[in-house]
Amino acid sequence: MKTLKLGICGLGTVASGVVNVLNRNREEISARTGCSIEIIQIASRTKKDNCDLTGIDFTTDLNAVVTNPEVDVVLELIGGYSPAKELVETALQAGKHVVTANKALIAEHGNELFALANSAGVSLCYEASVAGGIPIIKSVREGLAANDISSVAGIINGTGNFILTEMRDKGRDFEDVLKEAQALGYAEADPTFDVEGIDAAHKLVLLASAAFGITLQFKKAFTEGISKVSTDDVNYAEELGYTIKHLGIAKKRGDGVELRVHPTLISKSALISKVDGVMNAVVVTGDAVGDTLYYGAGAGSEATASAVIADVVDVARALVAGAKPIVPGLGFEAEALKDTSIIEIGDVVCPFYLRVMATDAPGALASITSIMSKHGINIDSITQRENEQVGDMTPVIMLTHEVKEDVVNLAISEIEQLSNTAGVVVKHRVAQF
């Protein structure tokens, strides 16, 4: 039986999970691959006791792993941009396959790294970069390969989903729940990547490329976080039959691709609206299969390790078959990838939720609806919350029909200038599933 030798850079949560799962399921994995898989070296700044390293060479030198001639596959599990990028480049140039869970690295530098892997005739695998244990990349890239995929949308950051779930179910405010998320280890000390949507945007870019055959274009993705979502708006959405989720949405249009992350109202009848806590879910729409939903743990030691090892299994099977990588990294042959235009957020068309504080006096609602009408915005519903008056101001809640965002923004700017309104008009987009 052939042996595939692994070297791991990093020994954090995911790497320790990889060690534990491989040790526990070694026979099962070998039976699936026809190959023995062994970790021969691990590099990390510190040696931890959360996994059994018996028989594994441990070093603090990360470069030792990527330059080790005995290592067939390098698992880059340290995260971040540097030295991760340099380590991956060195490994690929040395003809080693690379498996990573580093969504930021692939989203921002993937185009060049995939080109390097392609020229070296090796695999650069990244299943664990998106949605933890959910095999979403393989599902999009391989399971749905017969489909013309029109959209991919999902809850792909567990931290944000946990916060919004707590705000909805317990009436807590954002800052309060964020502190708990940090205490539970769901959010980092600096939670910016999670709560401002950067983490989700990294993942969405990878999903969009695999779904649509486009180059990775992270810098063009629109990103809006949840830090300004209020408990009031969460409650109003619930009363209107919606729940607010932090979604990543990639949608193919005739003039380009929408690539956006933002708080979104979803009908409570939609399955994805019921995905709570730290769980993830992705809806993929293809012309042959229609809507498909993928649900599971979006993070965690062994859930993410499951995805890492699934990539290792692919490499092992190719080794046994004596073949080069069969499936292109992004699911499309390199020469077929397109530099498709990314749609500006102002050109996105969808329904909107708007909340404005207006005087509880004759003519206030009329002045607001007059502006909406002037801009051709059809109102689906409008409610004045007279029992929630603050001073002489009352919340007015509106749901619009589909309309271009730039048009809504023009109307909002005029509404905010009215003498009988006060403060900023709150705006959230609505998604229809």
H helices then E strands: how many in the chain? 14, 18
Q: Which two tokens stand for residue 379?
A: 């109102």
- Residue 404's contacts (CB-CB under 8 Å, 6 or more residues apart) are 346, 347, 348, 349
Buried b (16+ CB within 10 A) or exposed e, 119-135: ebebbbbbbbbbbbbbb
Q: Which two tokens stand for residue 62?
A: 């990360």
Query: Are 395 and 426 a contacting pair, CB within 8 Å?
Result: no
- Residue 27's contacts (CB-CB under 8 Å, 6 or more residues apart) are none
Question: CB burial class (10 A; 0-12, 13-18, 19+) of residue 272?
Answer: buried
Distance CA 101, CA 302 (A): 13
Query: Are 321 and 364 a contacting pair, CB within 8 Å?
Result: no
Distance CA 73, CA 311 (A): 10
Distance CA 310, CA 40 (A): 18
Residue 290 CB coordination number (10 Å): 9
3-class secondary structure, 327? coil
Distance CA 256, CA 341 (A): 5
* 384 DSSP β-pair partners: 396
Question: CB burial class (10 A; 0-12, 13-18, 19+) of residue 372?
Answer: buried
Of 5, 14, 120, 141, nearest to 76 (Cα)? 14
Q: Is 203 a catalytic residue?
A: yes
Instruction: Give the active site residue among 85, 96, 103, 203.
Output: 203
Residue numbers annotated as active site: 203
